[in-house]
Amino acid sequence: MKKIVLPGDEMYDKPVRANHTYVEGGRTFSKVLGIYNEEKDELVPLEGAWHPRVGNSIVGIVASVDRSTSSIELRHSSYGILINDRMSRYSPRKGDIVESVVKSIERKSVPVMDRVRPIDGPPLLIYVKPAKVPRLLGRNDSMVKQIEELTDTRIVAGLNGFVAVSGRGINMAVASIRKIESEAHTYGLTDRIREMLISMKNDS
Amino acid sequence: MASKINKPKLMHNGKRLDGRMPDELRKIRIEAGVLKNANGSAYLEWGKNRIIAAIYGPRDVVPKHFADPNAAIIKCRYSMAPFSSLEEHGRAGQNRRAIEISKVIKEVFENAVILEEFPNSEIDIFLEVLQSDGSTRAACINAAAVALASAGIPMKDMVYGVSVGKVDGEICVDVDMIEDNYSEADMPMAISHRDNRILLLQMDGEMDSSEIRKGFDMAVAAGEKIKSLQREALLQMYKGV
Amino acid sequence: MGGINELKGAYIRSALNEGKRLDSREVFEMREIKVESDILSNAEGSARVKLGDTDVIAGLKVVVEEPHSDTPKEGNLVVSAELLQMASADFESGPPSPAAIELARVVDRGIRAGNCVNLERLFIEDGKVYSLYVDIYVLDYDGNLFDACTVAAMSALMNARLPKYANGELDRKDRNTQLEIQNVVTSTTFGKFGDNIVLDMNADEEQAADARITITTDGKTVRAMQKGLKGHFTIDEVERLIGISIKKNADISSRMGK
């Protein structure tokens, strides 16, 4: 069973350490508007802006390149820092679309980036609500792989919400991404996406 | 409040001018997720009140020196559209009243939102009264809480707003514009869903302590209805679960 | 959003070179216009207009004032627009931006030059006239505010009612007199990218455009024009766009008052 919970809803009548919850007066409450999956005993937020955590994979755009550092735009007016590494095979250029990983968080909110790689293309860059990116990826990336195969595209989805799409069936891929974004909370989505893409292919 | 000149009779045979009983709310409709650009939003109809609430953030603080390195800050802007009232054409922007209301609403959500999760960030609450009909601050609080939840902002609890007043000697919940103009007292408040914590309380006029007690009880009783409407508005965003 | 906008701009341009728009519209195709009229009961006229994801609301208030000394027998019509911060992460607080002022003035000019309201009919008695204040609020921004706001202001005027004025007092409960509309104007705003021109730009397209032109017509003649941004139009282009603009008037005005 899945159910939607609101901030302040009681999750457990005892103190429990669980994501997106807090404990008060010996009980545990949800912090977020989320969906609770009873079988997996897991609370997943339904909405929310992205907040950098160490290890997050992101997609961004190189916004500026200075002598020792570069900045990478990760969301609206928000940047990650990259320490330029002369030994690296890739030297960033302004305007490049890149994938990268958050290595650390400085001053509590500034992400420092690592393992920066350019995404070839140039790809089409779209924005997906960050809370929906995990559903777009699917378990072990199963959802995104399915779309790539059926549309002959390459998709790189960053947890910050930017998604780079390149290849032949860009329009179909984007249509399926938008469907996932609006139906992320529903059952049987993987099958519905497959059916949609197959019928789109047959039509064209 | 104020003018007692030309004061109409507000209660007739135990009923109010618009036919409501003292403990009866006006008709309320809430819709969440109505704007595309905002991170969260809500549209609320409450009697003739028409409110739109929008949330941006958490995002970087502008200007930067306002940032708190340990927590998010909340900015709130309540204002009334120049065409919102039945009377004269109003001024665009905020007057002193709007600035005070913005401040007390901001303090409600500084309590409810878990600010420590977002150091160096700001969360913006924009509240536009498109049409006003009394108790707009309570209405705005209801819309703001739904909009914040729909933006995925972590909160300790949901919050609702409601007002009570003393109308022709009778304690009534949810005072409308005419009642507000001629009532003996008016008491808007914001209350947390789970524990009935009072997060906003203002009052002017005259009520004795037993009347105030009765007002709280009526507010909490009416709150049950408001809470379920707020919940329903959020659930409506995800039909088909 | 420097980097991202530049990137989107490059994409929009390269698609347009193949005659395509990213939302798969034709170059001179407008997004769907949805008008809800008379939605606020305190205002004397109102309308909410959605043009794609652009969402604006217009409210009209009627007041009784002294006429301007140079037009003692005419009432006043004042159109204002406000870009609410809630409408976009890029809109800032503070006094109206030059963009907001330009928007209000262009919409105002079109309706005024279109003679949409007979201002002489707003005369009450010597020293007293009705003034119509139309305030447009932008709630959600996805481009082309000029055309959306013109539809909103026009629609609010079309359902406006004048409150009764008697014995020196305005009775707002008695508003049985419908405001007389003698002409209906619509505007069409085009954007230019290199040599390509499109109608009704969304927010991404507006970020990338070289030049912009708003043409306001009543379906027969041109009533106002405003060219914006750094780029240019040729005379031939303007002539062609006027033709398109006049043709679009019937379709756009058919959405009003619904």
In this structure, CATH architecture of domain B16-236: 2-Layer Sandwich (3.30)
* Per-residue pLDDT at B5 exceeds 80: no
DSSP-assigned letter for residue C31: P
CATH code for the domain of A89: 2.40.50.140
Q: A142-151 and A189-203 helices cross at what angle (nearest 10)? A: 10
* Contact call for C46 and B83, based on CB within 8 A: yes
pLDDT of residue C258: 54
Average pLDDT of A152-156? Answer: 95
Domain range annotation of chain B: 16-236
Min Cα distance B198 → chain C (Å) is 28
pLDDT band at C19 (very low <50, low <70, confident <90, very high): confident
Of the candidates A10, A47, A183, the beta carbon closest to that of B150 is on: A47
Q: Which chain A residue shows the shortest CA-CA distance from B239?
A: A186
Note the ipTM here: 0.92
* Contact call for A76 and C6, based on CB within 8 A: no
Min Cα distance B26 → chain C (Å) is 16
pLDDT of residue A75: 82
Tens-place pLDDT, residues A97-122: 999 999 999 887 789 999 999 998 77
How would you classify the pairing of strands C33-37 and C54-65? unpaired
Query: Which residues does B119 contact at the CB level (< 8 Å), separation at least 6?
Result: A108, A109, B68, B69, B70, B71, B72
Characterise B118 by phi-psi region: left (phi > 0), alpha (psi -120 to 50), beta (else): beta
pLDDT band at C2 (very low <50, low <70, confident <90, very high): low
How far out from the chain centre does Cα C92 lie?
Answer: 21
Q: CB atoms < 10 A from the CB of C130, how many?
A: 26
CATH code for the domain of A187: 3.30.1370.10
Average pLDDT of B108-136? Answer: 96
* Contact call for B59 and C133, based on CB within 8 A: no
Determine what percent of chain A is predicted with pLDDT higher than 90: 69
Tens-place pLDDT, residues C224-236: 999 999 999 999 9
* Per-residue pLDDT at B184 exceeds 90: yes
A51 near B CB under 8 A: yes
Nearest to A33 by CA among A14, A47, A15, A21: A47
> C touches which chains (3+ CB pairs under 8 A)?
A, B
A20 near B CB under 8 A: yes
> A touches which chains (3+ CB pairs under 8 A)?
B, C
Domain enclosing residue C11, as ranges: 2-255
Tens-place pLDDT, residues C113-160: 999 999 999 999 999 999 999 999 999 999 999 999 999 999 999 999
Domain enclosing residue A160, as ranges: 124-203
pLDDT of residue B240: 60
Judging contacts by C-beta atoms under 8 Å, the chain B residues touching residue A32 are: 149, 152, 154-155
In chain C, beta strands by DSSP E: 33-37, 45-51, 54-65, 76-83, 123-125, 128-140, 161-162, 164-166, 169-171, 177-178, 186-193, 196-199, 211-217, 222-228
CATH code for the domain of A41: 2.40.50.100
Specify the number of domains making up chain C: 1
Q: Quick check: is A52 in a domain?
A: no
Between residues 49 and 78 of chain A, which touch chain C (CB distance below 8 Å)?
A: 61-63, 73, 76-77
Rounded Cα gap, residues A109 and B121, in angstroms: 8
Q: The pTM is what?
A: 0.90
Range in B80-84, C3-7, C9-13, C42-46 with the lowest mean pLDDT: C3-7
* Contact call for B84 and C42, based on CB within 8 A: yes
Residues in chain C: 258
How would you classify the pairing of strands B198-201 and A27-30? unpaired
Determine what percent of chain B is predicted with pLDDT higher than 90: 87
* Contact call for B81 and C137, based on CB within 8 A: yes
**Same domain assignment for residues A97 and A136:** no
* Contact call for C2 and A125, based on CB within 8 A: no
* Per-residue pLDDT at B3 exceeds 60: no
Min Cα distance B132 → chain C (Å) is 8
Average pLDDT of A9-25? Answer: 97
* Per-residue pLDDT at B169 exceeds 60: yes
Average pLDDT of C170-180? Answer: 91
Range in A124-138, B100-114, C131-145 with the lowest mean pLDDT: A124-138
Specify the number of domains making up chain A: 3
pLDDT band at B18 (very low <50, low <70, confident <90, very high): very high
Tens-place pLDDT, residues C62-74: 999 999 999 999 9
pLDDT of residue B1: 46
- The alpha carbons of chain A give a radius of gyration, in whole angstroms, of 19
Tens-place pLDDT, residues B135-149: 999 999 999 999 999
Of the candidates A76, A125, A171, the beta carbon closest to that of C7 is on: A125
B169 compared with A120, residue with greater pLDDT: B169
Min Cα distance B166 → chain A (Å) is 32
Rounded Cα gap, residues A181 and A129, in angstroms: 7
The three-class DSSP label of residue C111 is: helix
* Contact call for A7 and B149, based on CB within 8 A: yes
Rounded Cα gap, residues B34 and B54, in angstroms: 9
Average pLDDT of B154-167? Answer: 97
Give the domain-ending residue among A68, A83, A118. A118
Helix (H) or strand (E) holding B58: strand B49-60
Judging contacts by C-beta atoms under 8 Å, the chain A residues touching residue B119 are: 108-109
pLDDT of residue B90: 84
> B touches which chains (3+ CB pairs under 8 A)?
A, C
Q: Quick check: is A51 in a domain?
A: no
Rounded Cα gap, residues A147 and A135, in angstroms: 13
Q: CB atoms < 10 A from the CB of B3, how many?
A: 8
Average pLDDT of B202-228? Answer: 96
Q: C98-113 and C145-158 helices cross at what angle (nearest 10)? A: 50
Average pLDDT of B11-37? Answer: 96
Main-chain phi, psi angles of A156, to 5 degrees? -120, 115
Min Cα distance C19 → chain A (Å) is 16
B157 near A CB under 8 A: yes
Rounded Cα gap, residues B167 and B180, in angstroms: 8
**Same domain assignment for residues A71 and A129:** no
**Same domain assignment for residues A92 and A143:** no
Determine what percent of chain B is predicted with pLDDT higher than 70: 97
Cβ-Cβ contacts under 8 Å between A and B: the total is 92
Q: What is the pLDDT of chain B when averaged over all its residues?
A: 94
CATH code for the domain of C9: 3.30.230.70
* Per-residue pLDDT at B239 exceeds 90: no
Nearest to C190 by CA among C6, C16, C14, C11: C16
